[in-house]
A and B are shown apart, each in its own frame.
Chain A
């Protein structure tokens, strides 16, 4: 039985039998029917996909005598009407399917899951993760498995393992060291070691940081960026001798794959100011097993700040700005958003947003307005529109615009129906019209 079939069978058995045994399963089921124009390969096709999304969580399901576990499942299915992009008319997958059990300071989670600890970076994997807090403040977590094959990709014989050791004085004061190793087709794709921490410098000032190095041989980038001429010369030979000890050190040192630092200042409950610096290099996301890891040593730096304020209970204002530095040159991005909740029960939401992004070769300017109104009898209506002005025309068009109008009704506790129509113009389809119908039932799973 292939891996996918095995997973499918396990999920089918789990999702249909668990509710019968669980005392209080919480479920969310959503069915969507969409009608949309799909521009591809120089033409515009019409597709009519229907989706079913299903989430279930059941707590303290008794497995054997005294052993209890939480069960979490998330899966989806799709029927593609019209002319689908991948020529597949039926499709589906499991997003999550795991059992999690805790006994005192020990915990174990098995199945398809997400792992966030340290340098795992939200890894989506089929495997097992275990954690323990053996002594006060000390924490250990390990995980191993096969990464979930992302959408559209073929299985490439991946495997990953990693872990994190941490010490925690409080939620805002902690330190961790973590590692991750990824194999692809039997080759080392990524090997990362990271340090992360949070420090409450004052009650209202918190420093959060993470540094990640790539430890595969030859990952260094520091001296690889040293300028050299093709034929060399006396000056270069002299410089080479001068930096020889540094080169030896450089070979021994791992290269920096990512540095992420944020200083958050929150003097009031309604005001948060955050300054951020982030550096990413190619070894963070291009695996060593890819041929493209040998052509470049580019890196990207971002320095910026965000301010989030709640001026009144009904009025919020967020603003952010950042400068970018890439191998191609400099760039910048920034934005602002103002949102209000009006009415006796905050039933009216109105807002406006602007955003600008400039990268060395392109960029855009965005303006957006949105509003929603809750009406009696569980009715609601929402309007959302945006326009992007592109710096460089795409297919001869310099803008893209879209407006959507959504009407919903909550007709039973947990049940709702929504209908959306959207229209606009994009460089890929001059006139674009979409429609969406949604029926959902949610018994106890909070929205993110």
Chain B
């Protein structure tokens, strides 16, 4: 069953690619047809914007593109079509297909704005598309010329207007820029305002680094990202115990508590390995508090990295109540723990009631 499941994962991209390719009118990115429309030449010929984009009169959202159909072009350019000069308008007529529906990423009503601007489209559309320049979107400062949006901006509630910033890729302003050492600071933003992060990002970006089940280190996936502050760069395994001692909490953010033990077991470093190798010096156990006891007080996580097997942990054998190892709790333990806590914590009962 396990193998079948794994095979399923490997087939995922293939099946998804098939699903993509099977979409009606799917065309790879390098085979796209574009209409070559020179706005400047039409404006010079005194063609009104609304003569072609007349549906914009009733547009209360951006669901439709409001682009004229071919019949509108043929009102003036029927001759070129009759002569078979498709290239007069199309860049690759073989790839021509119906326009995809608009996927608006902005709340905007043309109806309200046409009234206020007295049908002067150029108040907002300052730079129109030309055949060799591509399309130009309206810059946000055209909006802010009339609307202040102070409160929504301060609160980071961009979604009042921008319904899809992931698609829009608007570069953030001032507070929302990731200046300085943002990688180090981003934890505060994520804790307090993850919904603001999600306005522009999806978790597909988070999971590259924050992943409980990573298949391969991000350093290997992106070897060209030499300026990124990756944690496990190059020969991390040789220095992992030093890094873990410096900040164990950072390790455990992604790796579970028994990750160390599980990996060390495969290396035969734990007592539950198939042929375990003992890394401790002579007298480690019988030396008592001077050796393993003192080490446990100082860095219990290092002990847990090999010996955390729950009730099977070899600590219990000696340190349970009445055992030869004596009381393992740190000084002052009884001050802080009520005896009734034993009833509440099943783990205590492995030593105290069995």
For window 231-290 of chain B, which residues contact chain A by CB distance below 8 Å? 233-235, 237-239, 241-243, 245-249, 252-259, 262-263, 266-268, 277
CB–CB A418/B5 < 8 A: no
Point out the residues of chain B lying under 8 angstroms from A436, CB to CB.
Answer: 220, 223
Check: B315 CB closer than 8 A to any chain A CB. yes
Count, chain B residues at interface, CB 8 A: 132
Residue on B nearest A198 in the bound complex, by CB? B192
- Contacting A79 at CB < 8 Å: which of B10, B191, B329? B10
Given contacts A96-B207, A286-B301, A291-B347, contact A226 B335 (CB under 8 A): yes
Name the residue among B1, B7, B298 with the largest chain A CB count within 10 angstroms. B298
CB–CB B242/A296 < 8 A: no
Alpha-carbon distance A290/B308, docked complex (angstroms): 7
Check: A433 CB closer than 8 A to any chain B CB. no
CB–CB A447/B222 < 8 A: yes
Alpha-carbon distance A379/B91, docked complex (angstroms): 28
Alpha-carbon distance A40/B85, docked complex (angstroms): 69
Residue on B nearest A187 in the bound complex, by CB? B346
Point out the residues of chain B lying under 8 angstroms from A19, CB to CB.
Answer: 16, 19-20, 23
Given contacts A27-B16, A294-B329, contact A382 B224 (CB under 8 A): yes
Alpha-carbon distance A8/B6, docked complex (angstroms): 9
Check: B210 CB closer than 8 A to any chain A CB. yes
Point out the residues of chain B lying under 8 angstroms from A302, CB to CB.
Answer: 247
CB–CB B233/A386 < 8 A: yes
Point out the residues of chain B lying under 8 angstroms from A28, CB to CB.
Answer: 204
For window 2-55 of chain A, which residues contact chain B by CB distance below 8 Å? 4-5, 8, 11-12, 15-17, 19-20, 23-25, 27-30, 32, 34, 39-42, 49, 51-55
Chain-A contact segment, one of B64-72, B111-119, B176-184 = B176-184
Point out the residues of chain B lying under 8 angstroms from A349, CB to CB.
Answer: 226-227
* A405 shortest CB reach to chain B, Å: 9
Check: A247 CB closer than 8 A to any chain B CB. yes
CB–CB A218/B224 < 8 A: no
CB–CB A90/B226 < 8 A: no
- Contacting A264 at CB < 8 Å: which of B156, B185, B299? B185
Residue on A nearest B167 in the bound complex, by CB? A59
Given contacts A57-B202, A292-B304, contact A324 B246 (CB under 8 A): yes
Point out the residues of chain A lying under 8 angstroms from B303, CB to CB.
Answer: 292, 295
For window 1-41 of chain B, which residues contact chain A by CB distance below 8 Å? 1-3, 5-10, 12-13, 15-20, 22-23, 29-30
Alpha-carbon distance A390/B240, docked complex (angstroms): 12
Residue on B nearest A432 in the bound complex, by CB? B235
CB–CB A362/B203 < 8 A: no
Chain A, interface SS category: strand
CB–CB A298/B297 < 8 A: yes
A-facing mask of B313-354, CB < 8 A → 1, else 0? 101100000000000111111011110010011111010000
Given contacts A210-B188, A412-B29, contact A448 B206 (CB under 8 A): yes
Alpha-carbon distance A434/B216, docked complex (angstroms): 14
* B157 shortest CB reach to chain A, Å: 8
Check: B205 CB closer than 8 A to any chain A CB. yes
Check: B127 CB closer than 8 A to any chain A CB. no
Alpha-carbon distance A140/B331, docked complex (angstroms): 41
Point out the residues of chain A lying under 8 angstroms from B220, CB to CB.
Answer: 32, 34, 436
Alpha-carbon distance A445/B247, docked complex (angstroms): 32
Point out the residues of chain A lying under 8 angstroms from B224, CB to CB.
Answer: 372, 380, 382, 406, 408, 418
Chain-A contact segment, one of B48-56, B76-84, B129-137, B193-201 = B193-201
Point out the residues of chain B lying under 8 angstroms from A56, CB to CB.
Answer: 16
Point out the residues of chain B lying under 8 angstroms from A314, CB to CB.
Answer: none
CB–CB B234/A402 < 8 A: yes
- Contacting B192 at CB < 8 Å: which of A76, A174, A218, A384? A174
CB–CB B332/A224 < 8 A: yes
Point out the residues of chain A lying under 8 angstroms from B299, CB to CB.
Answer: 298, 326-328
CB–CB B331/A226 < 8 A: yes
Name the residue among A196, A351, A363, A446 with the largest chain B CB count within 10 angstroms. A446
CB–CB A118/B191 < 8 A: yes
- Contacting A93 at CB < 8 Å: which of B9, B19, B208, B341? B9
Check: B300 CB closer than 8 A to any chain A CB. yes
Residue on B nearest A25 in the bound complex, by CB? B20
CB–CB A384/B338 < 8 A: no
Check: B221 CB closer than 8 A to any chain A CB. yes
A-facing mask of B291-306, CB < 8 A → 1, else 0? 0000011111101100
For window 398-414 of chain A, which residues contact chain B by CB distance below 8 Å? 400-402, 404, 406, 408, 412-414
Point out the residues of chain B lying under 8 angstroms from A221, CB to CB.
Answer: 336
Residue on A nearest B184 in the bound complex, by CB? A306
For window 79-115 of chain A, which residues contact chain B by CB distance below 8 Å? 79, 85-86, 88-93, 95-96, 98, 102, 107, 113-114
Check: A237 CB closer than 8 A to any chain B CB. no
- Contacting A91 at CB < 8 Å: which of B6, B19, B263? B6
CB–CB A390/B239 < 8 A: yes
* A279 shortest CB reach to chain B, Å: 10
Check: B215 CB closer than 8 A to any chain A CB. yes
Point out the residues of chain A lying under 8 angstroms from B47, CB to CB.
Answer: none
Check: B209 CB closer than 8 A to any chain A CB. yes
Point out the residues of chain A lying under 8 angstroms from B298, CB to CB.
Answer: 296, 298, 326-328
- Not counting A169-B155, A220-B336, A296-B296, a sample of 5 additional A-B residue pairs whose C-beta atoms are within 8 angstroms of each other reads A72-B204, A148-B212, A294-B333, A327-B298, A438-B223
A–B Cβ pairs within 8 angstroms, 14 of them? A29-B17, A77-B6, A113-B203, A116-B206, A137-B155, A151-B213, A152-B263, A166-B192, A228-B332, A288-B347, A302-B247, A306-B181, A400-B235, A424-B234
Going nearest first, the 3 A-B pairs with the smallest beta carbon separation are A272-B180, A92-B9, A90-B6
